[in-house]
Structure 1
Amino acid sequence: MKILITGGAGFIASHLVDALISAGHKVSVLDNLSTGDIYNVNKAANFYEVDILDSFKLKSIFEFEKPDLVSHHAAQTSVRLSEESPTNDVSTNVIGTLNILNLCLTYKVKKIVFSSTCAVYSEPSYLPMDEEHPIDPKSIYGLSKYTAENYIRFFSKSSHLKYTIFRYGNVFGPRQNPLGEAGVVSIFTGQMLNGIRPVIYGDGNKTRDYVFVNDIVMANLNVLDVAGDNQTFNLASGKEISDFEIFSSVRNSIGIDVEPSFANIRKGEAERVSLSIKKANEILRWEPKTLLDQGILEVVRSIKK
Structure 2
Amino acid sequence: MSPGRVLVTGGAGFVGSHVCDAYLEAGWDVTAVDNLSTGRAANLSPEVRLVRLDIRDPQLSAAFREGKFDVVNHHAAQASVRESVGNPRHDASVNLDGLLNVVGQSVKYGVQRFVLISSGGVVYGEPGQIPTPRTAPKRPLSPYGVSKLASEYYMLAFSRLYGIGCATLRYSNVYGPRQRAGGEAGVAAIFMDGIRRGESLAVFGGGGQTRDYVFVSDVAAANLVVTGADLPPPDDIDSVAFNVGTEVETSVLELARMAMATVGRTVEVTPARPRDGELERSALDCSETRALGWTPETSLPDGLAQTWESMN
Q: Aligning the two structures, in what range does the TM-score lie when normalised by the shorter sequence? A: over 0.9
SS of 2:66's partner is: helix
Q: Which moved more, 1:225-234 or 1:152-161?
A: 225-234
Cross-structure match for 1:286: 294
**Can you list the C-alpha shifts for 1:65-114, whole angstroms capped at 9, x where unaligned?**
01000000000001111111101000000110000111011001000001
- In 1, the alpha carbon distance for the partners of 2:66 and 2:184 equals 36
- In 1, the alpha carbon distance for the partners of 2:24 and 2:221 equals 14
Cross-structure match for 1:72: 74
SS of 2:192's partner is: helix
Which of 268, 277, 280 matches 2:286?
277
**Can you list the C-alpha shifts for 1:166-203, whole angstroms capped at 9, x where unaligned?**
00000000000002221110110111111211100011
- In 2, the alpha carbon distance for the partners of 1:228 and 1:273 equals 27
**Can you list the C-alpha shifts for 1:28-76, whole angstroms capped at 9, x where unaligned?**
1100000001100111111100000102x10010000010000000000
TM-fit CA distance, 1:10: 0.3
- 1:79 maps to amino acid: V
TM-score, normalised with respect to structure 2: 0.95
Which of 188, 196, 215 matches 1:185?
188
- In 2, the alpha carbon distance for the partners of 1:179 and 1:134 equals 31
- In 2, the alpha carbon distance for the partners of 1:84 and 1:107 equals 36
- In 2, the alpha carbon distance for the partners of 1:227 and 1:38 equals 33
Mapped contact 1:179–1:190 kept (Cα < 8 A): no
TM-fit CA distance, 1:227: 3.3
TM-fit CA distance, 1:228: 4.1
**Can you list the C-alpha shifts for 1:222-278, whole angstroms capped at 9, x where unaligned?**
122243454101100001110011001100001112121110110000101111011
Q: Which moved more, 1:143-152 or 1:14-23?
A: 14-23
Provide the aligned C-alpha RMSD in A. Answer: 1.0
Which of 34, 46, 49 matches 2:49?
46
Q: How does 1:1-305 map to 2 (within 5 A)?
A: 1-55=4-58, 57-118=59-120, 119-228=122-231, 230=234, 231-282=240-291, 284-304=292-312
> Alignment length, in residue pairs?
302
TM-score, normalised with respect to structure 1: 0.97
- 1:244 maps to amino acid: L
SS of 1:261's partner is: strand
Mapped contact 2:195–2:266 kept (Cα < 8 A): no
- In 2, the alpha carbon distance for the partners of 1:248 and 1:122 equals 26
Flag structure 1 segments of 5+ consecutive residues without an equivalent: none
- In 2, the alpha carbon distance for the partners of 1:205 and 1:227 equals 40
- In 2, the alpha carbon distance for the partners of 1:181 and 1:222 equals 28
- In 1, the alpha carbon distance for the partners of 2:249 and 2:16 equals 25
Mapped contact 2:199–2:268 kept (Cα < 8 A): no
TM-fit CA distance, 1:289: 0.5
Mapped contact 2:13–2:40 kept (Cα < 8 A): yes
- In 1, the alpha carbon distance for the partners of 2:104 and 2:169 equals 20
- In 2, the alpha carbon distance for the partners of 1:154 and 1:160 equals 10
SS of 1:158's partner is: helix
TM-fit CA distance, 1:128: 1.1
| Identical residues among aligned pairs (%) | 39
Flag structure 2 segments of 5+ consecutive residues without an equivalent: 235-239
